[in-house]
Structure 1
Amino acid sequence: MQDKSISFKTVSLQKDESVLNAIKHLLALVDLSLDNHVNDFVVGYVEQQIVACAGLDHNIIKCVAVHPDYQGSQLTLKLINTVIDLADEKNQHHLFLYTKPDNVPFFKSCGFYPLVKIDETVTLMENTPVGINHYCQKLAQHKKVGTCGAIVMNANPFTRGHLYLVELAAKTVDWLYIFVVEEDASLFPTAIRHQLVKQGVSHLGNVSVFLGSEYMVSKATFPSYFLKDQTLIEQTYMAIDLLLFREYIAPALTISVRFVGTEPRSELTNAYNQAMPYWLEQKALSTAPIIKVIEIPRVTASNDVISASRVRALLAQKRYQEVYDLVPKSTWSYLQQHYVIEDK
């Protein structure tokens, strides 16, 4: 059936819901499901039937599927090239995709290069052979001597709890690097969170604050559509993120310690904390040096742990007096300007 003419079209699910069920049906035929973060698709038609699709979520290619009757490397190659053209139109030039390891040779032929592989479950690839190396070279320009540690935080927003963790960690190592996760799905945009962290730790002489990168995998962007088991989805996301850190980011800055606060509330975050020693400390899992994980108990206020989620909840309820007790002065100053709070 592959000799039939196939035409490609770009569709937006928000504007063209008529194709939604057809795409879902095609994905189901190849044991995939629709990723809810994907709105833009390239679809291949034979007459009125959708026989191929590939989605684009910002700079991540997702939901690549070809009808079993039309599967073949040439059609799939045309499909990938077309979705790359779509990304180019949207000024997304640095692309990533997640695929099953069996598909890696094909995607290599499309110009993608593997970054990390998790067992036989998933491989993360990017469309450049030098992307992560260039990023690490830039990081290495800020490399310090001595024992170096790191904290990766969302800081949504930066609280006294974060500050406690940073100050304690900074006393433990010669130099501390903080990475602020790049994710605008948060209540506080990335640029604001980065600014608040920098202001909040400016009194510390051995701390550098970096904006996170695309090589720090967000749960929001991890494609769960080809993994059916929720536990496996979460474990795989954590493994990719931690191995990227261990194999690329940490060596660039000679990071040998990673600090994290305990997590009594979020099961997912607590599971991530528990995964850290497994992926960072076990010698057999990577040729990269091991990274010691130090978990620091959360600081409390009014008999409850200080957390960003607690601050956000209090802000929503306009309980500003309680917020004041949970955030450093720099964060409070920002909140005063943006939440119309009277001076203390």
Structure 2
Amino acid sequence: MALVYGDVTIVVDEQDDLFYTRAALHAHLPAEGRITVQPTPASASPAALAHDMLYALGKRLAPKPDSPDVWLDSVNEAWLAAAAWGVAMRVRHVVVPRAHLLTVRRIDQLLAWRESTGAQLTLLWQKTPQGLPPALALVERRISGRDQFEALLAEPGPIPARPSFSPAPLMARPAAVAAGPPSARQPRETRSASLRPRRLAPPCAGALATAQGVQAAPALNIASAEAAALAVLAHPLIAGALSVLAFTQAGLGGLRFTRDLDITGDISAVKLHGVGHRYCPLHAVPAWARPLLAGARAHHRLMLRPPGDGMFAPVMLAEGQHLRAHAGRLPRLGLSLPAGAFAP
């Protein structure tokens, strides 16, 4: 049976056959776009299912107390992060065992996540189907039987073809100033101070237009352990922001002005900006950081923010406390983010 975009399938397993749970767990292959989300049993946290989704996507929340991920205790923020990573990682199929234990509210959250990402959603309903909530009672596609379930898991899943946001338009106007040459590096402390915004500057061309005439500065190398630590950060904007700071060693001023259109479509280059656009370097994005910037871009677009808005602006509020807290947990990256650097 062919899968349709945004399809929802209910697998009825009244006998709670262990086969279905095992098959669902073995189907977890994120590299192939298929994940299995295991709901945390009896969790009273409103964002618990979103956290389970993030865990299945390979993201890890910082341990409490005083966690820098307290931001993701918000239901909306947690599901937005999960949707952004789902889009960035091109998740095509999500399998949820023991869906009959979920509340109506959490089922609605799953369905909303599916609408945002365009992924196939398969729910294992391991009790009598008479208890289906209204939102699922209308689902026409229900299967039962081992062969049907194995065939379903063997399908690659649909390629999400209807993202809930439009691609960011490119700025047609020429650059206000050219990007600085790769060798034009200032001391980090000097750049942080000189790039601190004092007034609004006219916009300048995006990364794609700049890349046609300027060679991107090579990315700085970081250890694989540090790259892995950044890759598991749960919030897409924090992961993206810290990755840029890590491979450019740029100051926060340039990051403040970075827009959606300052990242090329293939995420091979990112452009940073200084006050008055006097120094706007173009940097190559290393392979390990591209999925993180893809997550940040998806988060920005899912919020329906204009492509000219600062992509990382939300994590620079309140003196960037969440951004600074995560930077402090990764001391080997050498990302010193003093609170004063976030002042306008």
Return the TM-score normalized by structure 1: 0.27
Q: 1 or 2, which has the higher strand percentage?
A: 1
